[in-house]
Amino acid sequence: MKMHKFLQFLNQQLTHWRRQYKTLRRKGKLMRSSKSKTHRRELLRTMLKNVFLFLSKTNEKSERRKQERVLRSKAKSVNIKSSICTVGLNWAYKQRYSVILAIAVVSLTGIIGHKLYNQTQIKIGHPAPQTITAPYTASIEDQKKTEAERKAVSTSSLQVLMLNARINEKINENLQQLLDDGNEIRAVAGAFPFFDPVVLSISTQRYLRSCSESEWQALLSAVENSKNQQQKRIGQTTPAAPNQKRQPRTTSKSNSQSLEKTQPVDFSQNTDFTQAVAELESYRLTTSEKSLSLVIAEISQTRQRYIQATAKLLKLETVTPEAVYEESLLLDLSDVEWEKTQIGIHQSIERILTQGIPQGLPKNILQDAVSLQLQTFVPESAETLAKNLLLAVLKPNLQKDEEQTRQNAQKAAAGVPPVMVKVRQGEVIVKKGAQITAWDFEVLEHYHLIRREVKWQELVKLGGVIAIAIGIFVWVERHIDYELRQRDRLLVLLLTLSVPGVIVIGLPYTTWSALGLLLGSFYGPTLGLTVVGLLWPILGISLDMSKAALLAGVGGGILGNYIAHRLRSREELALLGVAIALTQGGIYLFVKILIGQVFGSTWYIVFQEAGLFALSGLGWSVIALGLSPYLEKVFDLVTPIRLAELANPNRPLLKRLATETPGTFQHTLLVATLAEAAAKELGCNVELVRAGTLYHDIGKMHDPLGFIENQMGGPNKHDTEIKDPWKSAEIIKKHVTEGLVMARKHLLPTAIQAFIPEHQGTMLIAYFHHQAQQMAQSDPSLTVDDADFRYDGPIPQSRETGIVMLADSCEAALRSLQASAKSVGEKRSVKDVSTEQALAMLNNILRAKWQDNQLVDSGLKREEMSQIAQIFVDVWEQFHHKRIAYPKLKASSTGRNS
């Protein structure tokens, strides 16, 4: 074939060249000259060029044919592959339910049983299957010894102590209270010294104030006798008056005095007595007898105040556990000494508390430290009293700084080098049959001689348990009113996988609250409780997790499941999240209280964990609320909250419906009222009926004037412009198709979109069908096909759409009945017409729908038809109740009402 074309082309070229040759010859250009040679070369070049072009074209065609053959073979293989893929996808689609169940079993088993993938055949405590030797020399860390040494260093590390400010404050408060008590007692005793120390020494004043009554009387007698006998020595014995009652010094702490009948007592051997008499005698000699009398009177008053102070001191000692004022040291101090003592005590205790008192400090060491401090700041005479005060209030004020101590222990442990053991090549690690120790296991692990395997048997057991749980879920699913789609089952699986998935990651605060809240909101409490109830024991058995944490999560999930479906706003769901948080934290704390962990030293850790579980419940609830709108969109779900949002009249589509088709919008509201009442009585989804009804006629916006309710009494375009029942029927039918287009454009849920075609089902457009039949009777060439006047369907597939179909038909009939009642005039009231006629008419309409097989797939029952008709009539009567007839008023001749 190629040769034939080549020869044909060559023949044509030769004929062309021969003609050129004859022309050139006639012109004399082929003579032997330089020009003729040039022409001959051009002719030869042209010939060769043409031959080359032909050959190149031939090669291009052959290459093109080869490429076409390759493309055809590739297309054929692609078609074969695509056909295989198509067959596989078709099979997967037909078996999608079984595929999803298989995916559920495999995925749940894979995530929950993740620990079974990399299990060792050789385990600590088991006999070795064979003798194993070291393949090469290596230094291996003995982790057990290393850990023991680091633990020992960590334990022996010094504890870091910190001052407890609360204890210091309490110590200072107690000390100040004791000092206030001392000041109060000294205020009762009065100032000391009470007289000029130059005249009466401090020791004498102290003696005169505290001596017994007998000594005081003896002293007064001695001073009186010395007045009469100037030559007599001061220490001479003074006889007591006849029948005089002498009072010896009592031994009680209050130094209270009492008069007793005793023999005369000689006090001349008492140096305090002798010194006091001498100083009083000296004062009398230097001043006057009157001055001495005043001094004696002042001493007597001071003695009375001292007795009162002593009694108060005794009473304080019986009330206060710390007997710091058990002796008269407090009253023996002068005012200056007492002031210095208080200042010194404060300075001493400040230094002692700043240095800190540790727990378990021996008492003698504390006493020595207090004495050492007081020597610097307190007068010597007051050291004993100050020491008693400080020892009464001081207590350990140093506590362990847990965080700093832990950090120091960690640093100390980190500084310990690992204990390395050298294992030589060929050395026996473990003999056959010998029990494998922890060290043997470490050596085998270092040499990668630990054989790991997948525990298939355990995985199969776990898969069987999960398969049984999924079987229970399937049984529950088939016994609830809500019918799950494949996408719903996939969403339930994904939400379920989130719980063990978070645990596998290592986070104990898992997604129980989000699982319960979303499942309860999307599918109701029954399905959600089933998932939580089945997942609970599986996770408790298969995963190593705290039982308190598991119970807390399950409690939050159950609460979310049970309540979420009842809520109708995002705000209520947010409050439910707070309730879930409190529930999780409360359950965790309650379980810890039951097992007694709250009463140990780690009680604060338990409360911290309870707070974290509460916060996790709130956090996952917030995440669930944030994901809910997206999941509703992606998985085409309708929740009560979303239905309430869709039923909002401010939605763009509903605002357009009210603006562009006001008659249709009013009709929609009336149909919604009827359908809601019936749905509530029959136990259907009222929110779904409400939202679906509002959107069921949105397709009428494509041609508002094509529907009589929007013509507002104007001309009917079907009678004036179209005048063709077939075209009119197409316009009427088109509101279904256009409505679906609008619904998809505005991303309405499938459950809402179902109301658009199903509320008409496959009903006959009777008005235009009748017109077509009349035209066919007058024109035999016309043929009436019922399919041209029937909606494309489908018929109602749920009770909700079936109710809306009935409400849509009955609303138009009730409206026409109302119009006919008004046309009768005032002869009959609406009440006279509505009850019996309306109920009979609605029963006929519902019977016709039933007989036309429009409700066979809806789930509505035949006996419910009369109930629905009665509900519709009751609602209609509430709208069109009887009103009072007002009398007509006639205008008088004066222009005023008569």
Long-range contacts of 314-321 (CB under 8 A, 24+ apart): 314/252, 314/253, 314/254, 316/181, 316/185, 317/253, 320/178, 320/181
pLDDT greater than 80 at residue 486:
yes
pLDDT greater than 50 at residue 826:
no
Q: Cα separation of 418 and 407, whole Å? A: 19
Q: Name the residue type at position 752.
A: I
pLDDT greater than 70 at residue 232:
no
Q: How many CB atoms lie within 10 A of CB 436?
A: 19
List all residues 6 or more positions away from 785 whose beta carbon is below 8 Å from its beta carbon: none
Q: Which two tokens stand for residue 49?
A: 């060029």
* Nearest one of 141, 167, 116, 794 to 417, comparing CA atoms: 141
pLDDT greater than 70 at residue 40:
no
Q: Name the residue type at position 56.
A: S
Instruction: Say whether 701 sits in a helix, a strand or coil.
Output: helix
Q: What is the DSSP letter of 199?
A: T
List, for residues 852-887, the tens digit of each pLDDT value.
Answer: 888 898 889 999 999 999 999 888 888 765 555 555
Q: Which residues pair with 140 in a beta bridge?
A: 421
Q: Cα separation of 746 and 646, whole Å? A: 11
- The residue assigned the tokens 């062309």 is 16
* Nearest one of 588, 481, 464 to 112, comparing CA atoms: 464
Q: In this prediction, what percent of the chain has a pLDDT beyond 90? A: 11
The whole model's pTM is what?
0.56
List, for residues 617-643, the tens digit of each pLDDT value.
Answer: 899 989 998 898 899 889 988 888 889
Instruction: Say whether 544 sits in a helix, a strand or coil.
Output: coil
List, for residues 72-96, the tens digit of each pLDDT value.
Answer: 665 555 555 556 666 655 665 567 7
Query: Which has more pLDDT, 790 or 79?
Result: 790
* Nearest one of 385, 213, 223 to 306, comparing CA atoms: 213
φ, ψ (nearest 5 deg) of residue 163: -70, 140
List, for residues 202-230, the tens digit of each pLDDT value.
Answer: 888 888 888 888 888 888 888 887 766 64
Given its phi and psi angles, is residue 131 left (phi above 0), alpha (psi -120 to 50 degrees) or beta?
A: beta
Q: Answer yes or no: are the C-beta atoms of 502 and 543 closer than 8 Å.
A: no
pLDDT greater than 70 at residue 421:
yes
- Share the mean pLDDT of the chain: 79
- For residue 248, whether the previous peptide bond is cis, meaning omega lies within 30 degrees of 0, is no
Lowest mean pLDDT among 1-5, 202-206, 460-464, 647-651: 1-5
pLDDT band at 748 (very low <50, low <70, confident <90, very high): very high
Q: Answer yes or no: are the C-beta atoms of 296 and 277 closer than 8 Å.
A: no
List, for residues 118-127, the tens digit of each pLDDT value.
Answer: 666 677 777 8
List, for residues 358-386, the tens digit of each pLDDT value.
Answer: 888 888 888 888 888 888 888 888 888 88
* Nearest one of 531, 475, 427, 517 to 136, comparing CA atoms: 427
